[in-house]
Structure 1
């Protein structure tokens, strides 16, 4: 990602602090099938037995899709059942991956599902984590400055709305293995992640430093 100019940093600060930025609702399918698959996931993966898939958010996890367009990214999350091209995690659960928010390359923020419903986006922590996906993340299609601004704004919005303790990049999730929030029962169920990139996370953390998120476990 290119270094910011002084002018752009100033504009970024103004936009990220704005309270007028809009979230566009673009819901994925969350029918009775997805609800039941989510309840099954909570039960088998975490030992949580409850009547609905409601969560209490304590964490925000930032991701990238490594998919080139908004519509293709949306399509990847839309179906309740996991597609056949995800054999690496299909045997663990048939619940499709998803995220609460999806941010396009132009910075527009889409809400895919309620923040207080469980989405499958991070091993061990789905029961307490809000997921934020960003379209792109490849060498040919890196995350944009517009996405950075929107991530900063959204983190501030969510921190104000909920009692959020932690902000992490997906690549940092295994730091929580011995933490009280970690509930994954299978010690062999892990995947290596790099999203949304260390540089991207440093910039988001720098811009949200005053929110006083807790330090990550070492």
Structure 2
């Protein structure tokens, strides 16, 4: 059954009640619910072109030759979108091709950036891609990383308590389904240069990131101590 986001409202989770955004009219598939979590399925375009570009990225950036653009999740990377609305954030990820405005990273690939999850400011969780599908969201680690994007920017739109609680609940669920070893903020990805998980072939292909903010990611990790996650490596000298 297809539902609009307007019709999916006031859905309950163990964290409390989360009201779905009423600002998006595009159709989404029905929610997946468990006693712990509610996730709204809202897939971005995944067609032959996105698969082709994903396989090309794996090959050229990571020296991984694969028949399918799949990942083996071992970490979760938390981001903010730096885009003020849910709909605009979704639209930024939806196209398989990188827009011309992202010229700084286009030399690495024409594959558009994306993530597996997008969390609205009210805490509603939307799933954009299956957990084991390749997504471009973090340099060097995409082959093993599930990406969570949060609508906001940390300054004029600071991430919310509802988003914090949603991230914690989602990561707990993911850790039940996959052997998650690390939960990191996007800004910490450089700490994995020279780590066994690091795959980027070009040592100069690095960008500066600050998302989702040190306080936000530390609050998430403080609520995940029972998962026995590994410590983020020290930044290489």
Common topology (TM > 0.5): yes
Query: Which of 13, 37, 52 is residue 68 of structure 2 equivalent to?
Result: 52
Q: State the alpha-carbon separation in 1 of the partners of residues 51 and 60 from structure 2.
A: 14
5 Å-filtered alignment, 1:118-157, equals 118-157=134-173
Q: State the alpha-carbon separation in 2 of the partners of residues 54 and 202 from structure 1.
A: 29
Give 1:15 deviation, angstroms: 1.1
Stretches of structure 1 that go unaligned for 5 or more consecutive residues are 1-13
Give 1:21 deviation, angstroms: 2.3
Q: How many residues align?
A: 205
Check if 1:161 corresponds to 2:177. Answer: yes
Deviations 1:74-96 (A, max 9, x none): 00000000000001101110000
Task: Give the corresponding residue for 1:214.
Answer: 230
Task: Name the structure where strand makes up a greater proportion of residues.
Answer: 2
Deviations 1:5-47 (A, max 9, x none): xxxxxxxxx618x833210000000000000000000000000
The two structures, once aligned, show a CA RMSD in angstroms of 1.4
Check if 1:113 corresponds to 2:129. Answer: yes
Task: Give the corresponding residue for 1:178.
Answer: 194
Q: State the alpha-carbon separation in 1 of the partners of residues 61 and 37 from structure 2.
A: 36
Task: Give the corresponding residue for 1:5.
Answer: none
TM-score normalised according to structure 2 size: 0.84
Match of 1:63, SS state, is strand
Check if 1:63 corresponds to 2:79. Answer: yes
Task: Name the structure where helix makes up a greater proportion of residues.
Answer: 1
Match of 1:85, SS state, is helix
Task: Give the corresponding residue for 1:102.
Answer: 118
Q: State the alpha-carbon separation in 2 of the partners of residues 197 and 68 from structure 1.
A: 16
Deviations 1:122-180 (A, max 9, x none): 00000000000000124221100000000000010000110111110000000000100
Q: State the alpha-carbon separation in 2 of the partners of residues 57 and 178 from structure 1.
A: 19
Q: State the alpha-carbon separation in 2 of the partners of residues 81 and 152 from structure 1.
A: 31
Task: Give the corresponding residue for 2:23.
Answer: none
